[in-house]
Chains A and B, each alone.
Chain A
């Protein structure tokens, strides 16, 4: 059977392509429907091609405001979680202190805990403290759940780092600050970058914890959720597509830079 032989030889490729399609199909749909001109308020059925939404991405009331808020929170949550998480990682790997074992396991608890439970308990905490719900409570919550991911990423990197490298730096006239900036940080950088990227992505699209602790503030995921009840403007698809394209561009640039560096070395 020639067909069976053909299939056998290409089975891995076919399986790979199918999995990729499975992963990317939702993005394709979002992109296609960003060019739709729906009849009613819901953008669920294809009508006809239009670039109206792309020409006026902020045409829907409050949407761009919520998008800007989400971006701000994501940036600050990334900065906060990355700085704190990196420091925690160094402390856990480099120093022996009394509660080290406990901290090591407790730091992963937020990752394992159901998000809705954490959201509700955070709300209880904020209310009892008399905190005003809004930008700051969202930011505090986001930094908290991003921390575990940063620690995981950075710790792996710091653990695999040869302590002799820092000794070599000190031996070569670098003081503590210089040693950290010139040797420790650059070597830990890939782990820190991975932690930061994860934080940004997690913070930007978080809905459950944000929804509980936002008060009257509306982030982009909350806006999408809210409008889905009343009708979905095409602009949501435009923003989704733009974010997706930005991420792809980011990855491509990183790949090209990496390739060029490798070629220089060889």
Chain B
């Protein structure tokens, strides 16, 4: 069922923007989604991700710019003339039609005469063959979700758009459907563009993630790349959790950059610093909580040389099964998060204990200090 690689399933957005009166939902934006890829637009509500998706679907006309599918300019085509289908948030199944007719809807509108075989095959693919004659409201949330996917996929669109398709499901079912959607995408080879506010969902499913904030794409890349090398504080905080420590640029030694944080010094590869690294300049040093090791202050001598280290006192510890999450107050920075795998637990690591935090310079990144340090944490004051 793989489509031929003639790039007709590429989605190319160039300079598209959308404004409503004085409000700009999407700032001029360039984006290319290669054919056959699973692409996620990730961001908090109101970041412009759904508007972008609707412009691809044709449900929203861009204020400026063009939308191309392969080599075809579809900017001014109505949705019913675009080879694109959508899985809507809350599914939008037709309540007056049964499951069979819901799935057959697109085929019938295009004048396909014998739909029975195709619809039955599609219902088998999503494991709903038994439910064909039921009405949507008689199905569970997960089943309705699969009907919505089947109803879109049966048309063999060049691009399938998914608008928060799993938002209404409970956690366990969502996990299951994530794998299911990924399986279907691999099987049919169609370009999927997926809008979500759930960073875990985006990282699990997508090949490429575009993180959106305030109508702009903050950063685009493979999930692991975004996670390991965030370039803005928003991405660092929105994708997982980051500890951000204010520091001052010191000297360079070879490929490494030496920073001063309080009276300690931190080292990182120059390449991992996205801020202008002039000596004396301010940067934010970032480190993921699971990259930090925790050693009791009494054993500080056993820490190998060459690692970044900070001293601190454990303020809080919560045991969550696979790991223990600590909050450590350091003189340099209060409230650092540290996740320690529960392999060999050190009984001395309890709230009040003096500890040394240490991690590899290679896991350290540095960001421009001109940004809001709490962007994307969900706790920042709305601008």
Cα A171 to Cα B81 in complex, Å, equals 8
Nearest neighbor of A166 in chain B, beta-carbon distance: B92
Which of A89-97, A172-180, A221-229, A234-242 makes up part of the contact surface?
A: A172-180
Partner of B105, one of A162, A169, A186, A265: A169
Cα A35 to Cα B91 in complex, Å, equals 59
Interface hits, A208-266 → B, CB 8 Å: 264-266
Partner of A170, one of B79, B90, B96: B79
Query: Does A172 contact B59, Cβ atoms closer than 8 Å?
Result: no
A265: B residues at CB distance < 8 A: 133-135, 138
Query: Does A170 contact B88, Cβ atoms closer than 8 Å?
Result: no
Query: Does B92 contact A165, Cβ atoms closer than 8 Å?
Result: yes
Q: Does A164 contact B (CB under 8 A)?
A: yes
* Interface residue ranges, A against B (CB under 8 Å): 162, 164-165, 167-175, 178, 182-183, 186-187, 189, 264-266
A178: B residues at CB distance < 8 A: 109
13 contacts between A and B (CB under 8 A): A171-B57, A171-B152, A172-B85, A172-B105, A172-B106, A173-B109, A173-B155, A174-B105, A182-B109, A187-B96, A189-B96, A265-B134, A265-B138
A187: B residues at CB distance < 8 A: 94-96
Distance in angstroms from B222 CB to nearest chain A CB is 29
Cα A171 to Cα B87 in complex, Å, equals 10
Query: Does A172 contact B88, Cβ atoms closer than 8 Å?
Result: no
Distance in angstroms from B365 CB to nearest chain A CB is 41
A164: B residues at CB distance < 8 A: 88-90, 92
Q: Closest 10 A-B residue pairs measured CB to CB?
A: A172-B106, A164-B92, A173-B109, A168-B92, A170-B79, A186-B96, A174-B109, A171-B86, A173-B80, A171-B79
Chain A at the B interface: SS class: helix
Distance in angstroms from B337 CB to nearest chain A CB is 39
Partner of A168, one of B58, B78, B88, B138: B88
Cα A182 to Cα B57 in complex, Å, equals 20
Query: Does B134 contact A170, Cβ atoms closer than 8 Å?
Result: no
Nearest neighbor of A162 in chain B, beta-carbon distance: B92
Cα A180 to Cα B92 in complex, Å, equals 16
Cα A175 to Cα B110 in complex, Å, equals 10
Query: Does B138 contact A174, Cβ atoms closer than 8 Å?
Result: no
Q: Does B151 contact A (CB under 8 A)?
A: yes
With A168-B92, A172-B155, A264-B133 already in contact, 16 other A-B pairs whose C-beta atoms are closer than 8 Å: A162-B90, A164-B88, A164-B90, A164-B92, A167-B59, A167-B92, A168-B93, A171-B84, A171-B86, A172-B105, A173-B106, A173-B110, A187-B95, A187-B96, A265-B138, A266-B138
* Interface residue ranges, B against A (CB under 8 Å): 57-59, 78-80, 84-86, 88-90, 92-96, 105-106, 109-110, 133-135, 138, 151-152, 155
Query: A169-B105, A265-B134 given as contacts; is B80 within 8 A of A174 (CB)?
Result: yes
A172: B residues at CB distance < 8 A: 80, 85, 105-106, 109, 151-152, 155
Distance in angstroms from A266 CB to nearest chain B CB is 8
B109: A residues at CB distance < 8 A: 172-174, 178, 182
Query: Does B85 contact A171, Cβ atoms closer than 8 Å?
Result: yes
B138: A residues at CB distance < 8 A: 265-266
A168: B residues at CB distance < 8 A: 86, 88, 92-94
Distance in angstroms from B298 CB to nearest chain A CB is 62
Distance in angstroms from B282 CB to nearest chain A CB is 47
A174: B residues at CB distance < 8 A: 80, 105, 109
Max count, chain B CB within 10 A of own CB: residue among A169, A171, A173, A174:
A171
A173: B residues at CB distance < 8 A: 80, 106, 109-110, 155
Query: A264-B133, A265-B134, A265-B135 given as contacts; is B94 within 8 A of A171 (CB)?
Result: no
Query: Does A167 contact B79, Cβ atoms closer than 8 Å?
Result: yes
Query: Does B92 contact A170, Cβ atoms closer than 8 Å?
Result: no
Cα A131 to Cα B110 in complex, Å, equals 51
Partner of B80, one of A171, A189, A264: A171
B94: A residues at CB distance < 8 A: 165, 168-169, 183, 187
B59: A residues at CB distance < 8 A: 167, 170-171
Distance in angstroms from B162 CB to nearest chain A CB is 12
Nearest neighbor of A174 in chain B, beta-carbon distance: B109
Cα A189 to Cα B85 in complex, Å, equals 27
Nearest neighbor of A185 in chain B, beta-carbon distance: B96
Cα A243 to Cα B142 in complex, Å, equals 49
Max count, chain A CB within 10 A of own CB: residue among B80, B86, B134:
B80
Distance in angstroms from A112 CB to nearest chain B CB is 34
B133: A residues at CB distance < 8 A: 264-265
B89: A residues at CB distance < 8 A: 164
Cα A249 to Cα B101 in complex, Å, equals 32
A183: B residues at CB distance < 8 A: 94
Cα A196 to Cα B241 in complex, Å, equals 60
